[in-house]
């Protein structure tokens, strides 16, 4: 008879997500994962499958959490532009924390179909929400109506990635704040 699992799978997955955020896929060993997750190697494989399956679960978990946080920021403020400003402020404030979304894209690009599907699903939700807020900001006169809202959303999301990479590369707080501010000024 199999022993019941004696660990919280959610807590273990959160710990694995932290390891992958910090080290990426290739530099993360099974030992690093089991140590952080506080489980044995067999429990890791029995519960989460192999390292790749665990990585994909971590990327999905991280992407879902980041999307929720971005959507909450976008929904804040009396005007659409306030929501865009809040989203960029959140990115700047969190920029020093490793981003599993960006690191997984940097590590694998579009070479893994299963991972690409996860990126596309999370990206679509965020892109659609940012595009909708851009359109509202255009209707409110805060972003020029002549700009393509989808292109503006892509521009902002590219700046999100750039800010996070700049932070990972050692940019100081003043520079990160300037990058966020300049991205928004470009919309005016």
Per DSSP, the residues of 92-150 read HHHTTS--HHHHHHHHHTT--HHHHHHHHHHHHHHHHHHHHHHHHHHHTTSS-TTS-HH
Tokens of 26: 């290739």
* pTM beyond 0.85, yes or no: yes
Give the span between the Cα atoms of 70 and 48, in whole angstroms.
28
pLDDT at 3: 52
Q: How far apart are CA 28 and CA 173, in angstroms?
A: 29
Q: Which CATH class is domain 59-185?
A: mainly alpha
The domain locations on the chain are 59-185
How would you write the pLDDT of the chain (188 residues) with one tens digit per residue?
455 557 899 999 999 999 999 999 999 999 999 999 999 999 999 999 999 999 999 999 999 999 999 999 999 989 999 999 999 999 999 999 999 999 999 999 999 999 999 999 999 999 999 999 999 999 999 999 999 999 999 999 999 999 999 999 999 999 999 999 999 999 99
List all residues 6 or more positions away from 37 whose beta carbon is below 8 Å from its beta carbon.
7, 12, 13, 15, 16, 44
Q: Are 63 and 122 in contact (CB under 8 A)?
A: yes
């Amino acid at each position: 008879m199999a022993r019941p699992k004696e660990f919280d799978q959610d807590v273990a997955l959160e710990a694995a997500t932290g390891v992958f955020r910090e080290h990426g896929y290739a530099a993360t060993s099974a030992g690093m994962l089991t140590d952080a997750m506080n489980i044995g190697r067999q429990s890791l494989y029995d519960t989460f499958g192999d390292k790749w399956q665990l990585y994909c679960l971590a990327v999905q978990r991280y992407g879902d959490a980041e999307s929720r946080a971005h959507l909450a920021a976008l929904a804040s403020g009396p005007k659409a532009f306030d929501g865009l400003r809040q989203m960029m402020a959140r990115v700047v404030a969190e920029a020093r924390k490793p981003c599993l979304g960006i690191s997984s894209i940097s590590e694998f690009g579009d070479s893994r179909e299963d991972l690409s599907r996860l990126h596309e699903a999370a990206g679509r939700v965020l892109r659609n929400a940012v595009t909708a807020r851009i359109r509202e900001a255009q209707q409110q006169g805060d972003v020029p109506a002549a700009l393509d809202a989808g292109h503006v959303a892509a521009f902002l999301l590219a700046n999100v990635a750039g800010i996070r990479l700049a932070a990972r590369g050692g940019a100081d707080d003043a520079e990160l704040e300037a990058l966020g501010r300049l991205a928004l000024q470009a919309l005016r």
